[in-house]
């Protein structure tokens, strides 16, 4: 074999099946996302985030009794240990972004475990509940500390999403706002063998613990090639300013060879099914809970313009609205800052990561791919 890279070798494991899983299936050609046997549209808005988590962790939707028990178990674990809150305070003091604060804080959560190295099914299930419970508390505490405010203690009588909004804003959230956030978290709970999920499974395959695996997943999600660009979507809207400016702005960006944020997807060749779900959420919010109605209305006009111009300039490319566009629209409508968007995504994806760790621990097989050496050979050390 020559010392040059072979074009036949997949880059980044593209097209390589790395695992078998019952968690989710992404059909990019037909725009279908299956979560635990259900199409996304069958789950989002119809089951709570806790129910969707149970589906992934246990392989089925819970009974009413199981749902109530799981919801209570998660609600009672929302408060942060002292050591974790200290890390969150220090991260805020240093101005660390929310996703970095979440990564650092997550690593400390093993200090609160009786046996942090236990990877038995029971321990994994308990740790999954604990992580899902505390991720929103970490983000809420960090957000308030960055704003010069003290964190608000969680309430066990609110849903996970409602409690997060309460901890951010200090008041009972509008039910439509809480439902919107809950649907968002269900929508992003799992999505095939993406980079952060693969990172979590690789770590778990070494028989490392769940907290370590999910800490690694957060590190993978932080990278802009994976964490997405919902923040820049808002930057785009603010730059466009008005519906009249949309078409010339978009055509200028395309002429300069720049990507239009929130459109197109590496996997989906048709409309992202998650965008379909969040579009409906945004419509419902549009008539109720909005922190910036002008920006919301502008986004809908920009979306229509971008789709029309992309079809004209890049015919056949099928560059449709993706989940990032509606993530930006929904989360900003809740009054959240773009800097928190990736960490908010992690709050939903945490349940999926945990499910993959459970699955990988049960498989108990080390993930150890091969690499192809393309460096020189036969070198000698000068004497």
- Any residues with CB less than 8 A from the CB of 358 and at least 6 apart, and which? 57, 121, 124, 125, 128, 210
Closest C-alpha to 167, from 80, 245, 81, 249: 80
Which residue matches tokens 């809480």?
Answer: 178
Q: In this structure, what are the phi and psi dihedrals at residue 359, rounded to the nearest 5 degrees?
A: -65, -40
Q: For this structure, is 265 an active site residue? A: yes
Q: How far is CA 31 from the centre of its chain?
A: 19
Distance CA 165, CA 51 (A): 20
Q: Among the options 54, 191, 265, 361, which is catalytic?
A: 265
Tell me the C-alpha distance between 81 and 10, whole Å. Answer: 44
306 phi and psi, to 5 degrees? Answer: -60, -45
- Biggest alpha carbon distance in the chain? 78
Identify the active-site residue in 276, 324, 356, 359.
324
66 is a catalytic site residue: no
Tokens of 188: 């992003």
Angle between helices 64-75 and 49-58 (to 10 degrees): 110
Unique residue bearing structure tokens 């409508």: 333
Find, among 341, 357, 288, the residue nearest to 130 by Cα: 357
Active-site positions read: 265, 324
């Amino acid at each position: 074999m020559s010392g040059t890279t072979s074009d036949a070798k997949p880059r980044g494991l593209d097209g390589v099946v790395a695992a078998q899983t019952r968690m989710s299936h992404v059909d990019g050609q037909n725009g279908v996302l299956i979560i635990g046997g259900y199409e996304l549209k069958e789950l989002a808005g119809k089951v709570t985030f806790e129910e969707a988590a149970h589906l992934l962790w246990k392989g089925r939707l819970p009974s009413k009794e199981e749902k109530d028990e799981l919801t209570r178990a998660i609600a009672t674990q929302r408060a942060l240990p002292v050591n974790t809150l200290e890390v969150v305070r220090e991260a805020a003091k240093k101005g660390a972004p929310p996703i970095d604060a979440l990564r650092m804080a997550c690593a400390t959560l093993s200090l609160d475990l009786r046996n942090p190295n236990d990877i038995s099914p029971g321990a994994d299930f308990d740790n999954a509940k604990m992580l899902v419970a505390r991720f929103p508390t970490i983000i809420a505490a960090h957000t308030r500390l960055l704003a010069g405010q003290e964190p608000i203690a969680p309430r066990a009588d609110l849903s996970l999403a409602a409690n997060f909004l309460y901890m951010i804003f200090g008041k009972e959230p509008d039910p439509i706002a809480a439902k919107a956030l809950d649907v968002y978290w269900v929508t992003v709970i799992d999505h095939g063998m993406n980079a952060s999920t693969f990172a979590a499974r690789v770590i778990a395959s070494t028989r490392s613990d769940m907290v370590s695996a999910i800490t690694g997943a957060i590190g993978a999600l932080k990278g802009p090639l994976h964490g997405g660009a919902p923040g820049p979507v808002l930057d785009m809207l603010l730059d466009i300013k008005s519906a009249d400016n949309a078409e010339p702005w978009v055509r200028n960006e395309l002429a300069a060879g720049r990507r239009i944020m929130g459109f197109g997807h590496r996997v989906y060749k048709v409309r992202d099914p998650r965008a379909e779900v969040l579009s409906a959420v945004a419509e419902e919010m549009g008539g109720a809970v909005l922190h910036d109605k002008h920006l919301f209305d502008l986004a809908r006009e920009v979306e229509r313009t971008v789709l029309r111009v992309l079809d004209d300039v890049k015919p056949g490319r099928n560059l449709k609205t993706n989940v990032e566009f509606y993530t930006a629209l929904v989360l900003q409508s809740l009054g959240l800052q773009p800097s928190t968007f990736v960490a908010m995504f992690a709050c939903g994806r945490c349940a999926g990561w945990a499910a993959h760790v459970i699955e990988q621990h049960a498989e108990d097989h080390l993930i150890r791919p091969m690499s192809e050496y393309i460096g020189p050979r036969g070198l000698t050390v000068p004497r």
